[in-house]
């Protein structure tokens, strides 16, 4: 059972987003070099401009959401532990949503050459922004304790695996051509880990894995205060006769 003190955001979500952002950066750099050194059409430049504009809009929307959440907490006078817990949950729900939406949308939008590219840019950037705005800013006194050996965690992972296998199978066999089936399969495989990891952590937090650690006492969720046990002090006397 891993225990993470002074957590910024969970190890599994952080690792996944870091690796995914490296792939995204590599993909972006390669496309930028192609635009600079090879002959691209006007449509390609329009797509690049739309991608940049979409990224700016996403950044503004998530920033406004963070400001709105903090304002609501301030107006409702929510205690600090509940504020941190709510922000962690909103961040994880945002990451999970960024992993679910492209997997659903790919079945209803027109498949084009830039479909995977646009999905990678929009939803990966959104997930990383949710992590930075809502997960990374958690106070250093937070503790997040959970176990991947937990039955519920493995049940959620198994459900996600079955859904992934079923959607990839249906996407390949029901698509009219191999280009469409390839895009559908790539979309499901690319975003499946993002969905699985974040939903597992949401389940752990809802079951009380998030708590606040102080020096003199441990305050857990639902305002339960568990005092630390103090060892009895033993004094030794030496008698001489």
Q: What is the mean pLDDT of the chain?
A: 71
- Least confident segment among 44-53, 146-155, 197-206, 220-229: 220-229
C-alpha distance from residue 79 to each of 70, 183, 223 (Å): 12, 46, 10
Residue of 9 and 104 predicted with greater confidence: 104
The pTM for the full model equals 0.70
In this prediction, residue 26 carries a pLDDT of 65
Instruction: Let me know if 91 is exposed, middle or buried by CB neighbors in 10 A (0-12, 13-18, 19+).
Output: buried
Going by C-alpha positions, the residue among 239, 218, 219 that lies closest to residue 228 is 218
Residue of 4 and 77 predicted with greater confidence: 77
pLDDT digits (tens, 9 = 90+) for 47-75: 778 877 888 898 899 999 999 999 999 99
In this prediction, residue 12 carries a pLDDT of 55
In this prediction, residue 118 carries a pLDDT of 75
- Kindly give, in sequence order, each residue whose CB lies less than 8 Å from that of residue 181, ignoring residues fewer than 6 positions away: 171, 172, 173, 175
In this prediction, residue 37 carries a pLDDT of 60
Other CB atoms within 10 Å distance of the CB of residue 39: 7
* Side-chain-facing half-sphere of 29: CA atoms under 13 Å: 6
In this prediction, residue 64 carries a pLDDT of 93
* Cα dihedral sign, 194-197-201-203: positive
Structure tokens at 185: 């399969």
Residue of 81 and 90 predicted with greater confidence: 90
Query: Could you say which DSSP state residue 210 is in?
Result: E
What does the alpha-carbon distance between residue 49 and residue 56 come to, in Å, rounded to a whole number?
Answer: 11
In this prediction, residue 85 carries a pLDDT of 82
């Amino acid at each position: 059972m891993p225990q993470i003190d002074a957590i910024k955001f969970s190890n599994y979500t952080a690792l996944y987003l870091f690796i995914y952002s490296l792939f995204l950066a590599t993909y972006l750099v390669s496309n930028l070099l192609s635009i600079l050194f090879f002959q691209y059409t006007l449509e390609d430049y329009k797509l690049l401009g739309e991608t940049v504009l979409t990224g700016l809009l996403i950044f503004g929307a998530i920033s406004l959401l963070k400001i709105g959440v903090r304002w609501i907490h301030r107006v409702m006078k929510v205690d600090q532990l509940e504020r941190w817990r709510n922000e962690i949950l909103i961040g994880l729900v945002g990451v999970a949503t960024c992993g679910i939406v492209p997997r659903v949308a790919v079945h209803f939008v027109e498949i084009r050459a830039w479909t995977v590219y646009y999905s990678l840019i929009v939803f990966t950037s959104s997930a990383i922004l949710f992590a930075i705005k809502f997960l990374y800013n958690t106070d250093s006194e937070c503790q997040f304790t959970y176990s991947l050996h937990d039955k519920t965690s493995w049940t959620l992972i198994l459900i996600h695996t079955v859904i992934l296998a079923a959607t990839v199978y249906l996407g390949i066999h029901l698509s009219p051509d191999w280009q469409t089936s390839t895009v559908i399969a790539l979309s499901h495989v690319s975003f499946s880990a993002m969905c699985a990891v974040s939903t597992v952590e949401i389940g752990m937090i809802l079951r009380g894995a998030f708590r606040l650690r102080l020096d003199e006492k441990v305050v857990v969720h639902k305002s339960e205060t568990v005092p630390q046990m103090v060892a009895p002090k033993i004094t030794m006397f030496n008698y001489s006769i």
